[in-house]
Amino acid sequence: DVKVTQSSRYLVKRTGEKVFLECVQDMDHENMFWYRQDPGLGLRLIYFSYDVKMKEKGDIPEGYSVSREKKERFSLILESASTNQTSMYLCASSDRGTNTEAFFGQGTRLTVV
Amino acid sequence: QKEVEQDPGPLSVPEGAIVSLNCTYSNSAFQYFMWYRQYSRKGPELLMYTYSSGNKEDGRFTAQVDKSSKYISLFIRDSQPSDSATYLCAMSDYKLSFGAGTTVTVRA
């Protein structure tokens, strides 16, 4: 059974903390994505990576950074968490070719207080 | 302007009705058009995809793409309570872009 695993389902952090969200996939996919999902706004792309050590900004990269040191792992970093980063964060992976099927993790519900 | 526009609903229909969902987009480079289904507290899962313009049918689900109008649709025939979920359209050039999602409730 193919899997994208996110390290935490629920996370509560304080304003100003540095936050790491980890994602691991076991499908040998080249592409990995980080989205945030908010009511009425859908999935908004934060960053994506199409290869190890490669990354590209998505639609809302401000306040975030990413790291991809190994093919199977893609980390999202909130350098200094703020309350407006309270959201559901979803990681996904897909084959490089057509990008037609992305497999998603269960999501991390992050609350910044 | 967002690249992908989708009415978030919500949409409530009786069991057996036809559900009609649609999205519009602005990026002519999109080649692949997908529909994802997301149940509560789960990540989205691919329902079906189409390449370029045309129709695709899979059981009770039909996806349509009209590239000239930059408009895609998903129809669910004979809807069931188990179809209650959020449906998200997605489009791909070299990255995946999603609509806001439409929450559908099928009443028994």
What's the number of CA atoms in the CB half-sphere (13 Å) around residue A112?
18
Question: For A72-95, how does the pLDDT look when each residue is reduced to its tens digit (9 = 90+)?
Answer: 999 999 999 999 999 999 999 998
Lookup result for tokens 């099928």 = B106
3-state DSSP assignment of residue B88: strand
For residues A25-45, average pLDDT: 91
pLDDT value, residue A97: 67
Bridge partners (DSSP) of residue B11 are: B104
Residue B100 has pLDDT above 70, yes or no: yes
CB nearest to B43's CB, from A48, A59, A104: A104
Taking CA atoms, what residue in A is nearest to B98?
A43
**How distant, in Å, are the alpha carbons of A1, B5, B60, B84, B87 from that of B18?**
32, 21, 10, 13, 14
Question: For B21-77, how does the pLDDT look when each residue is reduced to its tens digit (9 = 90+)?
Answer: 999 999 898 888 999 999 988 899 999 988 878 899 999 999 999 999 999 999 999
A42-51 vs A31-38, strand pairing mode: antiparallel
Q: Compute, in degrees rounded to 10, the torsion defined by CA atoms B50, B16, B5, A100.
A: -30
SS (H, E, C) B16-71: CCCEEEEEEECCCCCCEEEEEEECCCCCCEEEEEEECCEEEEECCEEEEEECCCCE
Residue A104 has pLDDT above 90, yes or no: yes
Which of B91, B96, B97, B103 is the mutation pick for testing A, counting most A CBs within 10 A? Answer: B96
Weakest mean pLDDT among A32-41, A63-72, A90-99: A90-99
Distance, CA of B97 to CA of B15 (rounded, Å) = 31
Residue B16 has pLDDT above 80, yes or no: yes
Average pLDDT taken over every residue of chain B: 92
Question: For A40-56, how does the pLDDT look when each residue is reduced to its tens digit (9 = 90+)?
Answer: 888 999 999 999 989 99
Judging contacts by C-beta atoms under 8 Å, the chain A residues touching residue B34 are 100-101
Q: CA angle B106-B18-B96, nearest 5°? A: 85
